[in-house]
Structure 1
Amino acid sequence: MGVRVRQAGAGDREAVARLLDEAFMHDPVSSWVFPDESHRRKVHGVFMGIFLDTALAEGRVDMTVDGKAVALWLQVPAGPPDPDDDTPARMREVADPDNERAEMVGRLTGAVHPHDRAHEYLLLIAVSPERQGEGLGTALIAPVLERCDREGVPAYLEASSLRSSRLYERLGFAFTGREIELPDGPCMWPMWREPATAPSGG
């Protein structure tokens, strides 16, 4: 039986924010941004909510009908980034003002984000911990990647672990060759996916 997917809206914000908080609570990057677990449990949901609000306002949020998996997408145009976009500073200000890492992670990922071609950006994908390993994430993002192939649009993401980067490789993503090294912390793997070449008719 296939996984049913729908687009999330403002009314789903609370449930999606809760899922993001739960799914990324022990993620290597989240653990680096908020090394003290008790403090992380207090502010992490607010931090993840900023990503969600950005996707709800400017992009697309897809979720499984059962609410166990969600993917946040943004359409990034070609050309230099908006100089007035200070999302990293807002992430710190809203979630954890005294924590420079809450801003640094956004600045480091932004510094290597490609802007020479328009692309779909998989900002975050989360699967409820008790449902991980069942293929929900793949089923959730496959329709977007299929559309990218039909329309000739590339896609981009940052893998937060070597394990997840291997999963994305199976979906056609390739490591860009430049890791994001978080100071005294884990690495992130920027990955780019060229659209599959449509078979020629005839």
Structure 2
Amino acid sequence: MGVAIRTASAGDRELVVRLLDQAFLDDPVSRWVFPGDEYRRRTHHRLMAAFTDVVLAEGRIDVTEDGTACALWVSVPAADDHGQGADQDTGEDDGPARVRAAVDPENERVELIGRLAAEIHPSGRAHAYLWMIGVAPEHQGEGIGTALIASVLDRCDREGLPAYLEASNARSRKLYERLGFEPTDRPLDLPDGPQMWPMWREPRN
């Protein structure tokens, strides 16, 4: 499938936030973080905006030229002898706490999801981290997301670089398996909530 892809700039921020909000509003993990439909509709977009800002500053966001999909990628460096990446923030005011303060200070799950994801994130080897991918609901199932991810995986294969992600629902897990990702040791069971599946992909020759 021929999909025109470009790298997003700061001017694409609202587009990316809107795509992620639409794509994940009814996702099981989003429903756990923001329980209650009305509450989630009012608040969910703030978390998507926080994620977008982090990746615009520290990673790369790919968008389709027609504005129907986006993918957020972060390059994770190899860990040093202490198990910390070269750019890891080790201060007291860490990322999950900052996100909670900016998004919804009274909601501890906003911070908890970040901490739990960090705990299961593989360390040691440099890799490409697919933070999120969002496809407009009316275009899901058309192969756009697959094409968006495949463009980066092709580069990973050329460079011998692994890739990692967390699948937040069974449908996306099947898609990632078709692209060569495999579940790691065990899923993440969110407290009184759904599962997330950490998945790793070795580069292909």
TM-score range, shorter chain: over 0.9
C-alpha separation between the residues in 2 aligned to 1:184 and 1:151? 40
Q: Equivalences for 1:46-195 in 2 at 5 Å?
A: 46-79=46-79, 80-81=84-85, 82=88, 83-84=90-91, 86-195=94-203
Alignment of 1:7 onto 2:15: no
For residue 56 of structure 1, report the CA deviation from its aligned partner.
Answer: 0.5
Amino acid at match of 1:147: R
For residue 115 of structure 1, report the CA deviation from its aligned partner.
Answer: 1.3
Per the alignment, residue 200 of structure 1 pairs with none
C-alpha separation between the residues in 1 aligned to 2:12 and 2:106? 30
SS at match of 2:200: strand
Alignment of 1:32 onto 2:32: yes
For residue 106 of structure 1, report the CA deviation from its aligned partner.
Answer: 0.5
For residue 3 of structure 1, report the CA deviation from its aligned partner.
Answer: 0.8
For residue 178 of structure 1, report the CA deviation from its aligned partner.
Answer: 1.6
For residue 91 of structure 1, report the CA deviation from its aligned partner.
Answer: 1.6
For residue 43 of structure 1, report the CA deviation from its aligned partner.
Answer: 1.2
C-alpha separation between the residues in 1 aligned to 2:182 and 2:109? 27
Q: Which runs of 5+ in 2 are unaligned?
A: none
C-alpha separation between the residues in 2 aligned to 1:161 and 1:40? 18
For residue 41 of structure 1, report the CA deviation from its aligned partner.
Answer: 1.1
C-alpha separation between the residues in 1 aligned to 2:148 and 2:131? 14
Bigger CA drift: 170-179 or 82-91? Answer: 82-91
Bigger CA drift: 141-150 or 85-94? Answer: 85-94
C-alpha separation between the residues in 2 aligned to 1:63 and 1:28? 24
TM-score by length of structure 1 reads 0.95
TM-score by length of structure 2 reads 0.94
**Cα RMSD for the two superposed structures:** 1.0
C-alpha separation between the residues in 2 aligned to 1:178 and 1:112? 9
SS at match of 2:196: strand
SS at match of 1:188: strand
Amino acid at match of 1:135: G
Amino acid at match of 1:6: R
C-alpha separation between the residues in 2 aligned to 1:96 and 1:40? 11
Q: What is the aligned length?
A: 197
